[in-house]
Amino acid sequence: TQFTDTDRNGMSDYAKFIAGLNPTNPASRFEFTGQTLGSNRLVQIEWTVVTNRLYQVSASTNLVSWLPVTGWLQASDNPSMSCIVTNSGSSLHFYRVQVQP
């Protein structure tokens, strides 16, 4: 359900189902695995993926309003995916990745 966390790793069983993960295995998780800040205001982020899932990166300056910075990206057989985005303006930006089945 949306409210259970069978493996007690902080991600609900429902969220794991959507992400294509195993809700009974605490090592099965969706997470950021790296980031690189370039001198030219470029940010590269990397996260774990599940084959044939769709992922979208969004950005926010206030953690309330989110705007997509990519379209929906199709995962391949690689265990991770990365994206390079421009950190424009003088505000601090936060990034999140959403997943669809």
H-helix segments, the chain: 13-19
pLDDT value at 77 more than 90 = no
Q: Please tell me the predicted confidence (pLDDT) of residue 91.
A: 78
Q: Please tell me the predicted confidence (pLDDT) of residue 10.
A: 86
Instruction: Please say whether the beta carbons of 18 and 99 come within 8 A.
Output: yes
Q: Please tell me the predicted confidence (pLDDT) of residue 88.
A: 72
The candidate with the shortest Cα–Cα distance to 19, out of 56, 52, 57, 50, is 50
pLDDT value at 37 more than 80 = yes
d(CA 39, CA 24): 42
Q: Please tell me the predicted confidence (pLDDT) of residue 81.
A: 93
Q: Please tell me the predicted confidence (pLDDT) of residue 27.
A: 85
| Mean per-residue pLDDT, 65-88 | 90
